[in-house]
Amino acid sequence: MKVAVIGATGTIGQAVSTLLENEGHEVIKSSRNNEPKINIDRPGSIDEFYDQIDNVDAVICAAGIANFGALQELTDQQIQRGIQSKLMGQVNLVRKGIEHLNEGGVFILTSGMLASKPWPKTSAVAMVNAGLEGFTRAAALDLPDNKRICIVSPPLISETAKKMGRDSDPWPDADKVAQTYLSTLNSDANGEVIYVPGYEY
């Protein structure tokens, strides 16, 4: 398959790209920093990205930013950042990509465990993740030509836990999480939230 991976320089995106290449797929690795560049915060950048590539069989997004912080401390700008970046960035990636996705192709988005199992100081992130999951369920009802959409909801990954100063032992590494994106790509699932095996919540 020809697969576009958005956020390919991030921890999960790198692992997904490497796994797909090892499986023999043609991978277009895109981010803000490598060609073909894309900044999902900007709708115009999404248009430019799709104009640069021919049609693809799958679009996988592991990009987008949302802010952590106590509810009473979050600023308007911090809340809006998550909405514009991780939420609307992925929504627009789908909206603008429908005509660039081959018949039977699939969009695979990324949410996260905080949508259903929030921690303190995660309200802005949980809001965005839950919104993406609702969007995925509904968008699946509208896609034409046997096109699909799913969303992977990974837990905290061990690499990120280490950077946060948390115990990394309870969490899967990016390579394990990447396997879930691969299995979703190869499945017939549509409109579903997909969890990493062993980390359902």
Phi, psi of 195 (to 5 degrees): -105, 155
**Full-model pTM:** 0.97
Residue 154 within a domain? yes
Residue 200 within a domain? no
User: For the chain, what is the domain count?
Assistant: 1
Query: In sequence order, what are the residues at sequence separation of 6 or more whose Cβ sits closer than 8 angstroms to the Cβ of residue 41?
Result: 65, 84, 85, 89
Report which residue type is found at 118. Answer: P
Residue 66 within a domain? yes
- Taking the CA atoms of 188, 182, 129 and 93 in sequence, report the sign of the dihedral they define: negative
3-state secondary structure of 169: coil
Tens digit of pLDDT per residue, the chain (201 long)? 999 999 999 999 999 999 999 999 999 999 999 899 999 999 999 999 999 998 999 999 999 999 999 999 999 999 999 999 999 999 999 999 999 999 999 999 999 999 999 999 999 999 999 999 999 999 999 999 999 999 999 999 999 989 888 888 899 999 999 999 999 999 999 999 999 999 998
Q: What is the CATH number of the domain that holds 95?
A: 3.40.50.720
Q: How many residues does the chain have?
A: 201
